[in-house]
Amino acid sequence: MRVGEEVIIRRSNDVIPEVLGAVIASEAHQSLPEDISSCPSCGVELVKKGAHKFCESQNCSAKILEKFSHFVSRDCMNIEGLSDKTLEVLVAKGFIKTLGDIYRITASELMGLEGFKDKKINNLLDAIKESKQVDLSRFINGLGIPNIGKKASLTLATNMDNAFELFELTQAELVQMEDFGEIMAQSVVEFFRANREEVEDLLSYVKAKGKERVDGILSDLKICITGTLAGYTRSQLAKTLEELGAIVVDGVSKATDVLIVGEGAGSKLEKAQKLGIKIIDEIHLSSFLRDGRI
């Protein structure tokens, strides 16, 4: 496609705009997109992987700023007051070079920044302090692991008791998790191998809490729910299962122990049958919740 060219798009999967193709038009006043060979931020030569080009410099200011911006965002550590503009100044002054440095910021450093008075400084330091207690899934998401988003972060957190277990994960263990493929598994292993020192430093300030496990008749069973159940809403049943010690997961994988099915069960039921996973219908659900027998 050329710059300025009209294209035909459609709404795909309810939201995503999919480009179907270009409208045939005169090319007289159109040009191909510029083929960039170096990073616009740091000037390092770009590396092409598939359809995209990447800057692989560890010192690229744009990459560093985006790393911090993602970490403090609402879906991650949710540190209010650390805007991109503030982060840019902190990075430029050398106050933060690693994620752990965010928790070493002092009032005296902030005092010298434009627009920072006592109240604003106290609010920011309070927000940083508050973020030290965080759900494990948000912490993992905040690390910015390539190919790992919110859903995959939640999957990892569901299978972990604490953040330190992340360092010991193997690719073979990861591909057994729900919706984890080889590329995602490789990304996780390579990330923690390359960034272990920085993450360990971060964990000296942050307590990333996994979902509390309850000892009960369903302890450690990974259970998925699908279809419509007459006696429960999905959230009610999930809460009941968790109170009995179960780990409720969103999808079916080799690691799933039980699939509870209601009316209208579809692909999850088919997958569970292929994998030989225990299936419990609503007729047998009451006895399962009572005695935990599979």
CATH number of the domain that residue 231 is part of: 3.40.50.10190
pLDDT above 80: residue 217: yes
Host domain of residue 138: 134-209
Whether residue 200 sits in one domain with residue 148: yes
240 lies in a domain? Answer: yes
Handedness of CA 29, 30, 36, 41 (dihedral sign): positive
Q: Taking a C-beta distance cutoff of 8 angstroms, is the pair 82, 72 a contact?
A: yes
2 lies in a domain? Answer: no
Who has greater pLDDT, 34 or 169?
Answer: 169
pLDDT tens for 100-130 read: 999 999 999 999 888 889 999 999 999 999 9
Give the integer Cα–Cα distance in Å for 154 and 242: 16
Give the integer Cα–Cα distance in Å for 84 and 73: 10
Average pLDDT, the chain: 89
pLDDT above 60: residue 163: yes
214 lies in a domain? Answer: no
Number of domains in the chain: 4
- Exposed e or buried b per residue across 227-260, where buried means at least 16 C-beta atoms within 10 angstroms of its C-beta: bebeebeeeebbeebbebbbbbbeebbebbbbbb
pLDDT above 70: residue 84: yes
Domain boundary among 185, 209, 233: 209
**Res. 28 pLDDT band, cuts 50 70 90:** low
Whether residue 228 sits in one domain with residue 276: yes
pLDDT above 70: residue 62: yes
Average pLDDT rounded to a whole number, residues 51-62:
90
CA 177, 180, 183 angle in degrees (round to 5)? 140
DSSP state of 84: H
**Res. 27 pLDDT band, cuts 50 70 90:** low
Domain boundary among 152, 184, 209: 209
What pLDDT is attached to residue 211?
66
160 lies in a domain? Answer: yes
- Among residues 181, 180, 271, the alpha carbon closest in space to that of 224 is found at 271
- Exposed e or buried b per residue across 105-140, where buried means at least 16 C-beta atoms within 10 angstroms of its C-beta: beeeebeeeeebeeeebeebeebbeebeebebbbbb
Whether residue 121 sits in one domain with residue 72: yes
Neighbours of 197 (CB within 10 A): 10
Domain boundary among 114, 131, 148: 131
253 lies in a domain? Answer: yes
DSSP state of 45: B
215 lies in a domain? Answer: no
